[in-house]
Amino acid sequence: MVSLVSASSSKGTWWKEGTAYQIYPASFKDSNGDGLGDIAGILSKVDYLKDLGVDIVWVSPMFESPQIDMGYDISNYEAVHAPYGTLEAMQALIDACHARGMKIILDLVINHTSAEHAWFKESRSSRDNPKRDWYIWKPPRHAEDGTRLPPTNWRSYFSGSTWEWDEHTQEYYLHLFAKEMPDLNWENKETRQAIYDSAMRFWLEKGVDGFRIDCVNMYSKRAGFLDAPIVDAAVFEQPAWSEYANGPRMHEFLREMNREVLDKYDTVTVGELPHTPDPQHVLRYVGSGDKQMSMVFQFDIVDIGQGASGKYRFQDWKLPQFKATVTKWQQFIEGTDGWTTSFCENHDQGRSVSRFASDAPEHREHSAKMLALMLTTLTGTLFIYQGQEIGMINVPKEWTIDQDYQDIESVNFFHNAIKVARQTMAGDQQAIQDEIDYIRRSIQILGRDNARTPMQWDDSNKSAGFTDRPEGGWMRTHDLYPEINVAKQQGDANSVLSFWKSMIRLRRSHKDLFVYGNFRIYEPGNEDTFVYAKTTVPAGEAAVGAGQAAVVVLNFTGKDQTVNLPSADEVGALRLQVGSYTDSAAAEDVDLAAGPGQQRTLRPWEGRLYMSL
Ligand code: NOJ
């Protein structure tokens, strides 16, 4: 049902042109000295966001929660986690955003609730409770020797089985994440209505402008609940997304959600969409003709480097893979009514400077600016994650998983991997140690805690100004806060923060090219540099008129690299508009009218933007 019209036919839409900024409440700003970020802290920084150029503020879960998974385990959709604040504080934040012309969206976590949610407490109280069917309960299987087995071999995202045995009612319940996060049963219409009321209408009536939708393709599980194919014979639990992602009723559920709830408001929705590599499939979710979601975070970009059999089994990658990923998710909407996103960080990922570029002291600022140049010139809605705008990097290698890491996913993965290594490596101590070192290194690169360290506001205290609590914040502050912090960068016209600000403004003043433009890649196989053009004309047509093309050249190495600029026949005459090295801002006309493309040499991790004259 994707109509073949230009993606830019609905230009002017606020959620396409707006720059979004994700806030992770625990780590953004503590206002009351308890070591945990809070809503009043966010409120105190609303003007900072406005000044950065943010149009849409996305607040990650701040709902009542036992915090097994940092708030993605919600025990009451209609209440605020008390240490974060109150409903009144949230109303004040909604109003403060609106007063400054910004929108605000919340996380919609409705694949599961917390086991502490009143709905689940009822559901587990007896087999004949009216809410029993609001969650997914199944009887056990039994092995030939009578041993009780879970209903399927599915592996949970946080290691171990997706099934937890309930002694009281003698059945298993399903949890794709932690056992404290039971999956809701979307097959039950009454459950869906309760979700719409409690998690959605409640907040839309308070004025929120939409949602980032958690696990958006997991609500419809495949009927039958079959075992997943075995990819790792050493263990019982297997990756099982083929059985629960993009299930048979998924599109129907999203259409219903729009019809019954979202269509009644002016909202944006951005769905978290893992396990969906086929562009045609993604278009079914984001084609505006079918009204399912405004856009999605497709996972190819953040999956780069992750292991096929386990997230924290790092696999080295080369630049062509990265470029092909960007190209694919830029071009898939061209000529359609779908929409895309430009992002590479969030609270579930390592920091982009460390993952995709270099966090070495001599390179990290250039790397951050080069990636900012890329993200701000890509088509789609731009999402920035807190700290990205100052070039925050992964935690130091010296931090230990047992003492300094907090995240349930990576800590469980680490301990589970050690357990499996000990069971399967038959006492080979060297092999076991190598495996442990490998997983530790993988978590250092990819771990979620990298993105969850406290925001580095200044160097006024050892907590980087995040909290006044003498013993520091709930999570350790990055050791490099004296060098990487907001206050330092605010006073520096050449800082990463200043670069982001100017790029966001440039993006806004050339929406046709950057927000809506078509994407062309050059030399896709080059392993060192990324060269692309954004144009206002379709692929294959010459973009030789003034304002019709922008050319972006990025050096993804720590050495000088020579790039070939596209020929004048294709993009006309160009002028250097932005250089990520301070001195490359000097005017450098590139008159290509005369003939074939010219070459330019980029310094380590340098990025440049040329615009057509
Ligand atoms: C995706 C969220 O981004 C992640 O942080 C969370 O652990 C899972 N969904 C479960 O809600």
pLDDT of residue 408: 97
For residues 571 and 530, what is the distance between their CA atoms, to the nearest angstrom? Answer: 17
pLDDT for 593 equals 52
Q: Specify the ligand 1 atom closest to the Cα of 73.
A: 11
* CATH code of residue 600: 2.60.40.1180
Residue whose CA is at the smallest distance from ligand 1 atom 3: 348
Question: In whole angstroms, what is the distance from residue 321 CA to residue 304 CA?
Answer: 8
The arithmetic mean of pLDDT across residues 399-418, rounded, is 96
Where among 438, 471, 490 does a domain terminate? 490
**Residue 124 and residue 107 share a domain:** no
Based on the fold, state whether residues 212 and 250 are members of the same structural domain.
Answer: yes
* 401-418: average pLDDT: 96
Residues 312-318 have a mean pLDDT of 97
pLDDT interval class at 584 (50, 70, 90): low
- What does residue 179 show for φ and ψ, rounded to 5 degrees? -65, -20
Ligand 1 centroid distance, CA of 69 (Å): 8
**Would residue 508 count as lying in a domain?**
no
pLDDT, mean over the chain:
95
525 and 590 fall within a common domain: yes
pLDDT value at residue 8: 44
Q: Is there a single domain that holds both residue 100 and residue 137?
A: no
Domain that holds residue 252: 14-113+188-396+451-490
Q: Which atom of ligand 1 is nearest to the CA of 60?
A: 3
The closest-lying atom of ligand 1 relative to the alpha carbon of residue 72 is 11
Tell whether 367 is covered by a domain: yes
Closest ligand 1 atom to residue 177 Cα is 10
pLDDT at 6 over 50: no
Q: If you measure from the C-alpha of residue 65 to the centroid of ligand 1, how many angstroms do you get, rounded to a whole number? A: 14
Q: Are residues 109 and 126 in the same domain?
A: no
Task: Give the percent of the chain with pLDDT over 70.
Answer: 96
Based on the fold, state whether residues 286 and 353 are members of the same structural domain. yes
Same domain, 19 and 127: no
Instruction: State which of 62, 109, 112, 219 you would mutate to test the pocket of ligand 1, scoring each by most atoms of that ligand within 8 A of its C-beta.
Output: 109
List the catalytic residues: 214, 272
Ligand 1 site-directed mutation target among 111, 117, 214, 347, most atoms within 8 Å of CB: 214
Record the tokens describing residue 229, joined without a space: 């194919």
Residues 304 and 252 in one domain: yes
In a domain, 303, yes or no: yes
Residue, of 613 and 341, whose pLDDT is higher: 341
Q: When comparing pLDDT for 593 and 31, which is higher? A: 31
Spacing, Cα 72 to ligand 1 middle (Å):
6
- 196 Cα–ligand 1 center, Å: 20
- Residue whose CA is closest, atom 8 of ligand 1? 72
**Residue 139's CB: how many other CB atoms inside 10 A?**
10
Question: Residue 590: what pLDDT?
Answer: 65
Residue 98: both structure tokens together: 């609106």
Calculate how far, in angstroms, residue 482's C-alpha sits from the geometric centre of ligand 1.
31
90 occurs within a structural domain: yes
495 within domain boundaries: no
pLDDT tens per residue, range 22-73: 999 999 999 999 999 999 999 999 999 999 999 999 999 999 999 999 999 9
Phi and psi torsions of 309, nearest 5° = -95, -10
DSSP string, 565-579: PPPHHHH--EEEEEE
Question: Taking Cα atoms as reference points, which of 266, 258, 159, 156 lies closest to residue 213?
Answer: 258
Q: Is 97 exposed, middle or buried (0-12, 13-18, 19+ CB in 10 A)?
A: buried
Do 133 and 108 have their domain in common? no
Question: Both 232 and 265 in a single domain?
Answer: yes
Q: Is residue 500 part of a domain?
A: no
pLDDT score for 234: 86
* CA dist., res. 272 & res. 250, Å (int): 13
Q: Whose CA is nearest to atom 2 of ligand 1?
A: 214
Note if the pTM is more than 0.85: yes
Mean pLDDT value of segment 575-599: 72
**Whether 219 and 294 share a structural domain:** yes
Q: Which atom of ligand 1 is nearest to the CA of 448?
A: 5
Running DSSP on this structure, what letter comes out for residue 529?
E
Q: Is the pLDDT of residue 256 over 70?
A: yes
179 within a domain of the structure (yes/no): no
Instruction: Give the model's pLDDT for residue 592.
Output: 58
Looking at ligand 1, which residue's alpha carbon is closest to its atom 10?
72
Cα–ligand 1 centroid distance for 272 (angstroms): 9
With a Cβ cut-off of 6 Å, ligand 1 is lined by: 69, 72, 109, 177, 214-215, 272, 347-348
Assign residue 160 the CATH number of its domain: 3.90.400.10
pLDDT at residue 4, as a whole number:
42
Cα–Cα dist 154/157, whole Å: 10
Q: pLDDT grade, residue 215 (50/70/90)?
A: very high
How many domains, the chain?
A: 3
**Domain-embedded: residue 183:** no
Q: Quickly state the pLDDT bin for 597 (edges 50, 70, 90).
A: low
Question: Are 523 and 602 within one domain?
Answer: yes
Note the pLDDT tens digit of each residue in 138-152: 999 999 999 999 999
